[in-house]
A and B are shown apart, each in its own frame.
Chain A
Amino acid sequence: MTDLNSDDQDERWLNSLIRRGFPRRGDDADSERIWARIAKEMHFTEELTRQSPWRLGRWAIASAVAAALAATILLRVVPGPQSSDDVTLGPEIASVLQAYELERDRVATWLSSERPEAVPESARVLRALDRAIEDSLQQLSQGEATHEAVRRLLGYLRWRNQILTDLTRSSYTSNEWKNLS
């Protein structure tokens, strides 16, 4: 214990102490059981499992989804409705994708100007949504065309439309918004 000059020696020495005091263990945690206990304690209304994160929750914004063209192609190749939900999914996503394509350049121009500084929160979310949508479309164009992925994309597009609608109505941004067209 006295001749400990180098960092390597310190590392070896400390590792040996730690191995004796806190031996390595290979146990696996039952993560779903722990989560169920947390969910109960936190009074969550539903017990979410690892299999359900594709929900249209806003949490997924930065993690997912990109090019309207690819998704349009996807919609052409995806076989007919797989559930009653799909009956409305196809027409709606086609409509919001069309709006997205039409607005994309105008929104990008506005976001790259200095004006979004006045509405930082909307600009922040819009940028994140645009990234998520582009990523999502990219994934879809690469063949990851699950029903869930399309639903998630739809969630992003709906949210984005809502922000744009709010911006258009806002007294601060409505005029400059119109001028960008």
Chain B
Amino acid sequence: MDEETELIACALEGDEVAYRRLYDLHHQAVWRLANRVIQRPPLAEDCVQETFIKAFRKLDRYSGESSFAGWVYRIAYRSAVDILRKEMRERRTRRAISPAEPVPPRTADPLLRRRLIAALDGLTEIYREVFLLYHFDECTHPEIARRLSIPVGTSKRRLSVARERLKRTLTEPPKNDRPQ
């Protein structure tokens, strides 16, 4: 029995220390993903909070078939994308209502960001999580293998498939540009 399995069992029995330990083990990875996807630290903090609350409340549904780190990472990605989309929507609304609304300094290319998110959404979770860990969190294959409890070769294969599929999606013309 590894530490994490024991922690999850204890958390399910209501041990608050176990919840805290699970948070300690995984919050940095969730934070790095959230902050990179959302690009706004206060909202990224909301994302970390939301991720762990969702994970803890759904802990009885964690089957143990995939690693806990991977499971939490998937919840984090969904939360980050939801927060990002909501924030973009709200910003568009604010600008529509009040054109004088100051535009925040732009560090990221918003159009490209939308395309990348759409392309990532099209990936199956097992490919997406390896891609995110490699390209967003800059993990090596042995690190990814450890985190997701998969062989290194599987990590490499999944990354290759993810890139191939993303390349195909991203080199297609955007759907909005196609003649109707």
A45 shortest CB reach to chain B, Å: 7
On whether A35 and B45 interact (CB within 8 A), knowing A15-B135, A24-B36, A58-B15, the answer reads no
- In angstroms, Cα B39 to Cα A1, docked, is 26
Would you list which residues of chain B between 32 and 53 have a CB under 8 Å from chain A? Answer: 35-37, 39, 41, 44-45, 48-49, 52-53
**Size class of the A contact interface (CB-based, 8 Å):** 35 or more
A81 shortest CB reach to chain B, Å: 25
On whether A38 and B49 interact (CB within 8 A), knowing A59-B6, A59-B21, A124-B1, the answer reads yes
**Size class of the B contact interface (CB-based, 8 Å):** 35 or more
Residue of A nearest to B134 (CB): A11
- In angstroms, Cα B164 to Cα A7, docked, is 9
Q: Could you say which of B27, B56, B167 contacts A42, with CB atoms under 8 Å apart?
A: B56
A124 shortest CB reach to chain B, Å: 6
B163 shortest CB reach to chain A, Å: 5
On whether A62 and B1 interact (CB within 8 A), knowing A27-B41, A42-B53, the answer reads yes
* A158 within 8 A of partner (CB): no
* In the complex, per-residue mask of A81-118: 1 if CB is within 8 Å of any chain B CB, else 0: 00000000000000000000000000000000000000
Residue contact A53 to B163, C-beta cutoff 8 Å: no
On whether A41 and B21 interact (CB within 8 A), knowing A18-B135, A29-B31, A61-B6, the answer reads no
B contact residues around A128 at 8 Å (CB): 1, 6
A contact residues around B2 at 8 Å (CB): 62
B43 shortest CB reach to chain A, Å: 11
* B62 within 8 A of partner (CB): no
A contact residues around B7 at 8 Å (CB): 59
* B88 within 8 A of partner (CB): no
Residue contact B24 to A14, C-beta cutoff 8 Å: no
- In angstroms, Cα B49 to Cα A157, docked, is 35
Instruction: Tell me which of B69-77, B95-103, B106-114, B145-153 binds A.
Output: B106-114
Residues of A that sit less than 8 Å from B by CB: 1-2, 4, 7, 10-11, 13-15, 17-18, 20-25, 27, 29-31, 33-35, 37-39, 41-42, 44-46, 48, 50, 52-53, 55, 57-63, 124-125, 127-128
14 CB-based A-B contacts, threshold 8 Å: A20-B109, A22-B36, A25-B39, A29-B35, A31-B27, A38-B56, A42-B57, A44-B19, A45-B16, A48-B17, A50-B24, A59-B10, A59-B11, A63-B3
Given A53-B21, A59-B3, A59-B6: 15 more A-B contacts, CB < 8 Å: A7-B163, A10-B164, A20-B112, A22-B36, A25-B41, A31-B31, A34-B27, A39-B16, A42-B19, A48-B16, A57-B10, A57-B15, A57-B17, A59-B11, A59-B21
